Amino acid sequence: MADPISSMAETFNSQTGLSQLFDSALFNISNSEQLWKLLFFIVFVLIVAKLGIWVLNKIIERALTQGKAIDKRLKVDQFKLKTTQKIMRYFVWFIALIVILQNIGIEVTALVAALGIGGIAIAFGAQETIANIIAGFVLMADKPFKIGDRIALGAKGTQTLDQAISIGGDNWGDIIDIGLRSTKVKTANNVVVIIPNAEFTKRDIWNFSLYDPRIRLVLNVNIAYESNQQIAKKILLELCKEDPRILKEPSPDVLFRGFGDNGVHLSSRFWIKEAKDAQEMTSQMYEKIKQEFDAYGIEIPYPRRQIINDKEFRAEFSAKRKQTKIKHEQQEKKELMPVSQFK
């Protein structure tokens, strides 16, 4: 078998390679009959390739979905399906091209070798694209999300669950397409954001619907120390029971979280059916809480600061210090008095 490098060199040699190229059937068509035969053969190969791709796509789809219709609600890895179909499609077209070139008399051994060397050069110039493609295969293996999942993206290690729910904007949306190089996310603002796959390895991914679309919301409220805490707790529980979007199981509850500088900290916790409703539910519940607290006289405290006049403080401090000194002197005198004087 000839060395691919040597074959490539011969192809680009003016005396051997180019002469073989010009001697091929492509450059030696003498009549219209030969032209029509060549065109018919090329069209036939392309049709067979197209048909082969269609058959392979059906086989792959049936193997990965077990004969079920593809739907975003099913546990179907559509990214793996699409990636496998793309790879097979490129492979079939490559084989078809090789068959056509071989039939018209063009040596393909050197062409394949040239593509290999050219691929190395391209790899150095397209490192970012290659990194995204590799990340695509990593996503296919790890499966952090699928089409239809609601996700949020945040900086690595700097985001909490509450922040992930409340950020909104272009970091919160639904997966609508997963490609080999990039992933498309449709945000809550109805904007499609195209994110390179390598970006998912650099950021935290919050998936709110991978296994269970339900999500628990926690609303933190503060009430003044003077307000009735038991009434406030009942109000929060009743609001959860009245809203049909809040699940009965697990049942809502209210926690006393501690004492603050200006009031008592309470937390209302409840579950909803869909993570995509989290922002709207949070806003509406806070609005209802404010209305009910106002109606029952539950005060929501605001930060308070006590300002002390420096001169008055010094005078008051000096007077208290003088009184303390007098008391200490009187105590010392009593301790020094003879016991007989107390009889």
Domain-wise residue ranges, the chain? 4-139, 143-207, 215-295, 310-342
Structural element, H or E, at residue 127:
helix 127-142
| pLDDT at 170 (0 to 100) | 59
pLDDT for res 40: 82
Amino acid making up residue 10? E
CATH fold of the domain at 215-295: Alpha-Beta Plaits (3.30.70)
Q: What are phi and psi of 322, to 5 degrees?
A: -65, -40
SS3 178: strand
Q: Which fold has domain 4-139?
A: Helix Hairpins (1.10.287)
Tokens encoding 54: 């269609």
- Residues near 184 by beta carbon (within 8 Å), at least 6 away in sequence: 175, 176, 177, 178, 192, 193, 194, 195
Longest dimension (CA), the chain: 148
pLDDT at 202: 80
pLDDT at position 119:
61
**Amino acid, res. 305:** R
Mean pLDDT by 10 residues, the chain (343 residues): 48 47 53 73 86 84 60 52 78 84 69 60 65 80 82 67 55 82 85 87 81 87 89 92 90 90 90 85 91 90 69 71 73 56 45
Distance of CA 110 to CAs 107, 172, 343, Å?
Answer: 7, 50, 126
CB distance 256 to 227 below 8 Å? no
For residues 123 and 146, give the distance between their C-alpha atoms in angstroms, rounded to a whole number.
29
Read off the pLDDT of residues 10-58 as tens digits, 9 standing for 90 and up: 544 444 444 554 455 555 555 666 677 778 888 888 888 889 888 888 8
pLDDT reported for residue 285: 93
pLDDT tens digits, 99-115: 877 777 666 666 666 56
Omega cis (within 30) before 250: yes
Q: Phi first, then psi: give them for residue 272, nearest 5 degrees.
A: -125, 165
Contact between 193 and 173 under an 8 Å Cβ cutoff? The reply is: yes
Q: Which residues contact 191 (CB under 8 A, 6 or more apart)?
A: 170
pLDDT digits (tens, 9 = 90+) for 253-272: 999 988 888 889 999 999 99
- Can you list the alpha helix ranges (DSSP code H) found in the chain? 4-11, 17-22, 32-65, 78-103, 109-125, 127-142, 161-166, 229-242, 278-295, 310-336
With the C-alpha atoms ordered 221, 223, 225, 231, is the resulting torsion angle positive or negative?
A: negative
pLDDT computed for residue 331 by the predictor: 65
143-207: which CATH architecture? Roll (2.30)
What confidence score (pLDDT) does residue 70 get? Answer: 46
Structure confidence at residue 61 (pLDDT): 76
Structure confidence at residue 265 (pLDDT): 92
